[in-house]
Homo-oligomer: A and B are copies of this chain.
């Protein structure tokens, strides 16, 4: 491994006949430099192909221009999309993205936060609210700017760029109920450590209560994320004595699995049973019948989260925090209950 050393600030300073302080000032646009010297220095910089060493810069300036994101997993379209947008904005502003994932394991998050702090991240992106309080302590003790995303609760103290999962799912449940469905079942995600999943179920319950139904009558089955698990739970649900006429799924992937299983079982959707999802990933428009779901602006969310976080880092102030809108996409997988069922 030949280590052909990159030129350093000293090299540039010497070649330009100025001090390292001046070169540094040129590079950091901190004013206080004649246009003439700046030009001379910049020429040397490009001639030498100089690139500042970030580690050194970070050590001296206590700024890394690095932002950490901790997501459950990138292999989930909704996070991948949001993260991509997040990264684009970061890059456009001179920041670099450090990614870790928890595989939905809350315990790993604290560890990841520690690592990112040690690495000197200038800011943090976290998903949702629910986490060990010690994690928040860690971040706040350090005065580290952060923003939550993929969720939004009006009452929560933490800054969040996201949507209200309760309300969003309430709307969908309401739509289902308004069509006349009374026998509802829910395929839920694992709610432990996942407030988004929990909130969505809460939204369904609220809609039922508002419609005069007893929320406890609807079976709610939690299952890990995935098609196959969605399919399995659906099969179980439909094998039970008192079949639901509508199955509300906590996300599109689970719903797609359910849809696939329905087909396999020879059930017509929505005639025999309605199925709804959440997220409106592209898949929703590809399955047959098209999936009724809740549209969430993931890219937009990632973009806004990045902008908010950068603002927070650079100016200390923060933007508005009103929740992002989610909108119903009522597609063919949702219909009125059949009169015979």
| Interface-located stretch among A50-58, A166-174, A175-183, A188-196 | A50-58
Q: How far is the CB of A124 from chain B (nearest CB, A)?
A: 13
A77 & B74 in contact (Cβ 8 Å cutoff): no
Q: Which 10 residue pairs are nearest across A and B when measured between Cβ atoms?
A: A55-B58, A80-B80, A51-B118, A75-B84, A1-B143, A74-B84, A55-B59, A288-B288, A54-B119, A2-B143
Contacts of A120 in B (CB 8 A): 53-55
Q: Is A31 interfacial (CB 8 A cutoff)?
A: no
Complex Cα spacing A313 to B174, Å:
56
* Interface membership of chain A positions 60-85, coded 1 if the CB is closer than 8 angstroms to chain B and 0 otherwise: 00101010000001111100110111
Q: Which residues of A contact B (CB under 8 A)?
A: 1-4, 6, 51-56, 58-59, 62, 64, 66, 73-77, 80-81, 83-85, 87-88, 91, 96-101, 103, 114-120, 141-143, 145, 227, 253, 256, 259-260, 263, 282-283, 285-288, 299, 316
Out of B59, B75, B115, which one reaches A59, CB within 8 Å?
B59
Asked whether B101 lies within 8 Å of A1 as measured between CB atoms, the reply is no
Q: Is the CB of A101 within 8 A of B75?
A: no
Contact yes or no, A100 B97, CB < 8 A: yes
Q: Cα distance A20–B282 when bound, in Å? A: 55
Q: Which residues of chain B have C-beta atoms less than 8 A from A96's C-beta? A: 98, 100, 115-116, 119
Cα of A55 to Cα of B99 in the assembled complex, Å: 17
> When the two chains form their complex, are residues B75 and A256 in contact, meaning their CB atoms are under 8 A apart?
no
List chain B residues, Cβ under 8 A from A299.
75
**Cα–Cα distance between A66 and B85 once the two chains are bound (Å):** 22
Please list 6 pairs of residues, one from A and one from B, whose beta carbons are closer than 8 Å in the complex, sorted by A's number: A3-B142, A4-B142, A53-B118, A75-B80, A88-B101, A286-B286
